[in-house]
């Protein structure tokens, strides 16, 4: 090629230099941001995919935060219920001690009653003050709404879960009544000193009977030990009967004649039976008079009243579980992943049942105080403890199978989404560093060659001299 004023080599080298400089700028941008895609032109398809994944990851992170907060909230409720359960157990212990009438003084009885009063006050304080982020948890404000309940047929209705979108109509039918265990213990007064062991589901005691002791006196002795045995007594047609305090197949009465009159007193062994109940035609789990129902997102428990059980009140019972109330939590990333749990009030006036009585009645001067009825006080405390265990179990079940599983699934999804985003968007530092070194070499080479190309102008001037 001849020597010309137009230096094509210089122009070519300038183009190469500009391209290399632009490539180096892009490489430096990727290395400084850590992202392979910094503008749409870097990778249009990759940008679209990364934006979609980024949106999904943001939703998953939000769901994780929701479930972590829900878990913390339920932990607060669980710990509070646990403290109340400890207090109820103390109350039961005090009631049992006080039922030992001949072994406790009036001063001790008064001291026990004072402790129960303090425990009941503490229960109400804990229930009223347990809150999370300004929201009370156990005072009943998180209870699921039910309407149309006939309290002459069912009582102590507690809903644990509901359909989040619509009210649910339920019809309760009592197909077979529950029974108590019952048997005739004696047909006449003892002809000689007699010892009888009476046993029920709560335990056994030995009843010592003197010759010719009135059956009414024996009845009183059996009733006095009722809190220890779960067995009551009554007289009918001149005979003394024993029966279980509770209804259902778990209740039983047994007696053994240890010594004495075996002609008028007899060994007995009988068990009760559970009610047979359907709700909307579906069989339910029943323990005595307590019915548990779960279907189509609705979960609840209630007690049949004794009047309904014995036929004093008849007919089916219909009521609604409304689509309102309860504590509703967002478990996932869409509106269809919401779930509700109901937590009814657990004040002393709500612990227990309409049949047995409520814990509030154990206060000094109450119908079931230690002075008035220590045996019934123990029964109420036992029922209250079972009620608390059921509520705590429901909360724990929701926490374990709903919240924690959702949290585990979302953490797994977060890991997968983060990995996919990294594959699409993150820069490979090893590759980009090698590219940068290559670009530096090319850039330096181009600059050096550009200097050589510029010497061509000097050669043309030398020809003119």
Residues 158, 305, single domain; the answer is yes
Cα–Cα nearest to 198, from 241, 247, 145, 134: 241
Residue 87 lies in a domain: yes
Residues 137, 149, single domain; the answer is no
Examine the pLDDT at 449 and tell me if it is beyond 80.
no
Residues 406, 337, single domain; the answer is yes
- Residue 457: the pLDDT is 62
- Mean pLDDT throughout 17-33? 76
Angstrom CA distances, 337 to 256, 330, 333, 402, 465, stand at 58, 6, 7, 10, 90
Residue 377 lies in a domain: yes
Among 249, 271, 293, residue at a domain's last position: 271
- pLDDT tens digit sequence for 213-248: 999 999 999 998 887 888 999 999 999 999 998 999
Torsion-angle region of 95 (φ positive above 0: left; ψ -120 to 50: alpha; else: beta): alpha
Domain that holds residue 249: 182-271
- pLDDT tens digit sequence for 433-447: 887 788 788 778 777
Residues 80, 171, single domain; the answer is no
- Residue 44: the pLDDT is 84
Examine the pLDDT at 381 and tell me if it is beyond 80.
yes
- Residue 355: the pLDDT is 85
Residues 287, 166, single domain; the answer is yes
Cα-to-chain-centroid distance, residue 28: 53
User: Do 342 and 161 meet the contact criterion of CB atoms below 8 Å apart?
Assistant: yes
Split into its structural domains, the chain has a count of 3
Neighbours of 235 (CB within 10 A): 14
Specify the higher pLDDT residue, 18 or 361. 361
Structure tokens at 18: 């500009």
Residue 44 lies in a domain: yes
Residues 256, 187, single domain; the answer is yes
Examine the pLDDT at 5 and tell me if it is beyond 60.
no
- pLDDT tens digit sequence for 253-297: 999 999 999 999 999 999 999 999 999 999 999 999 999 999 988
Residues 82, 155, single domain; the answer is no
What distance in Å separates the CA atoms of residue 126 and residue 347, rounded to the nearest whole number? Answer: 9
Residue 230 lies in a domain: yes
Among 253, 271, 289, residue at a domain's last position: 271
What distance in Å separates the CA atoms of residue 405 and residue 149, rounded to the nearest whole number? Answer: 35
Residues 321, 367, single domain; the answer is no
Examine the pLDDT at 1 and tell me if it is beyond 60.
no
- pLDDT tens digit sequence for 394-445: 999 999 999 999 999 999 999 999 888 878 877 777 877 887 788 788 778 7
Sorting pLDDT into bands at 50, 70 and 90, what band is 4?
A: low
Question: What's the N-to-C CA distance of the chain in angstroms?
Answer: 22
Residues 78, 153, single domain; the answer is no
- Mean pLDDT throughout 349-363? 93
Examine the pLDDT at 357 and tell me if it is beyond 80.
yes
Residue 444 lies in a domain: no
User: Do 196 and 206 meet the contact criterion of CB atoms below 8 Å apart?
Assistant: yes
Among 325, 341, 356, residue at a domain's last position: 325
Specify the higher pLDDT residue, 188 or 375. 188
- Residue 78: the pLDDT is 96
Cα–Cα nearest to 381, from 113, 87, 88: 88
Residues 290, 160, single domain; the answer is yes
Residue 319 lies in a domain: yes
- pLDDT tens digit sequence for 79-103: 999 999 999 999 999 998 888 776 7
Specify the higher pLDDT residue, 176 or 104. 176
Examine the pLDDT at 38 and tell me if it is beyond 90.
no
- Residue 53: the pLDDT is 87
- Residue 22: the pLDDT is 74
Residues 290, 412, single domain; the answer is no
Q: What is the CATH number of the domain that holds 123?
A: 1.20.1330.10
Sorting pLDDT into bands at 50, 70 and 90, what band is 249?
A: very high
Residue 148 lies in a domain: yes
Residue 465 lies in a domain: no
Tell me what the pLDDT averaged over the chain comes to: 89
**Three-state secondary structure along the chain?**
CCCCCCCHHHHHHHHHHHHHHHHHHHHHHHHHHCECCCCHHHCHHHHHHHHHHHHHHHHHHHHHHHHHHHHHHHHHHHHHHHHHHHHHHHHHHHHHHHCCHHHCCHHHHHHHHHHHHHHHHHHHHHHHHCEECCEECCCCCECEEEECCCCCCEEEEEEEECCCCCCEEEEEEEEECCECCEEEEECCCCCCCEEEEEEECCEEEEEEECCCCCHHHHHHHHHHCHHHHCEEEEEECCEEEEEECCCCCCCEEEEEEEECCCCCECCEEEECECCEEEECCEECEEECCEEEEEECCEEEEEEECHHHHCCCCCCCEEEEEEEEECEEEECCCCHHHEEEECECCCCCCCCEECCCEEHHHHCCCCCCCCCCCHHHHHHHHHHHHHHHHHHHHHHHHHHHHHHHHHHHHHHHHHHHHHHHHHHHHECCHHHHHHHHHHHHHHHHHHHHHHHHHHHHHHHHHHHCC
Angstrom CA distances, 303 to 31, 167, 174, 308, stand at 69, 22, 12, 10
Residues 88, 167, single domain; the answer is no
């Amino acid at each position: 090629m001849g020597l010309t004023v137009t230096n094509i080599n210089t122009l070519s080298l300038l183009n190469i230099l500009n391209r290399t400089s632009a490539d180096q700028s892009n490489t430096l941008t990727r290395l400084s941001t850590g992202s392979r895609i910094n503008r749409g032109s870097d990778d249009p398809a990759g940008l679209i995919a990364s934006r979609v994944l980024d949106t999904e990851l943001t939703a998953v992170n939000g769901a994780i935060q929701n479930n972590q907060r829900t878990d913390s909230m339920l932990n607060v409720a669980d710990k509070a219920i646990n403290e109340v359960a400890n207090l109820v157990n103390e109350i039961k212990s005090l009631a049992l001690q006080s039922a030992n009438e001949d072994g406790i003084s009036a001063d001790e009885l008064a001291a026990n009653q004072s402790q129960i009063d303090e425990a009941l006050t503490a229960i109400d304080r804990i229930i009223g003050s347990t809150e999370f982020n300004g929201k009370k948890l156990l005072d009943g404000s998180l209870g699921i709404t039910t309407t149309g309940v006939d309290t002459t047929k069912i009582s102590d209705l507690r809903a644990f879960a509901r359909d989040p979108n619509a009210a649910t109509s339920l019809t309760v039918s009592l197909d077979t009544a529950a029974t108590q265990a019952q048997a005739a213990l004696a047909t006449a007064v003892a002809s000689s000193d007699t010892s009888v062991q009476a046993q029920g589901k709560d335990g056994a005691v030995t009843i010592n009977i003197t010759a010719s002791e009135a059956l009414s006196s024996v009845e009183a002795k059996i009733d006095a030990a009722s809190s220890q045995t779960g067995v009551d007594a009554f007289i009918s047609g001149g005979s003394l009967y024993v029966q279980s305090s509770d209804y259902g197949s778990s209740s039983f009465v047994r007696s053994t004649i240890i010594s004495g009159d075996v002609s008028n007193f007899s060994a007995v062994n009988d068990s009760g039976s559970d009610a047979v109940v359907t709700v909307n035609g579906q069989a339910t789990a029943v323990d005595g008079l307590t019915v548990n129902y779960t279907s189509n997102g609705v979960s609840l428990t209630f007690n049949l009243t004794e009047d309904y059980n014995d036929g004093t009140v008849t007919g089916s019972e219909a009521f609604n579980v409304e689509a309102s109330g309860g504590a509703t939590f967002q478990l996932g990333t869409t509106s269809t992943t919401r779930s509700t749990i109901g937590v009814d009030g657990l004040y002393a006036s709500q612990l227990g049942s309409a049949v047995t009585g409520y814990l509030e009645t154990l206060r000094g001067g109450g119908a079931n105080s230690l002075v008035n009825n220590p045996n019934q006080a123990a029964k109420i405390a036992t029922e209250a403890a079972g009620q608390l265990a059921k509520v705590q179990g429901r909360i724990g079940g929701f926490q374990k199978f709903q919240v924690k599983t959702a949290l585990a699934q979302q953490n797994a999804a977060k890991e997968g989404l983060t990995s996919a985003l990294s594959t699409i968007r993150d820069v490979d530092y090893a590759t980009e560093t090698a590219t940068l070194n290559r670009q530096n070499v090319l850039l330096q080479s181009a600059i050096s060659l550009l200097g050589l190309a510029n010497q061509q102008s000097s050669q043309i001037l030398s020809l003119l001299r």
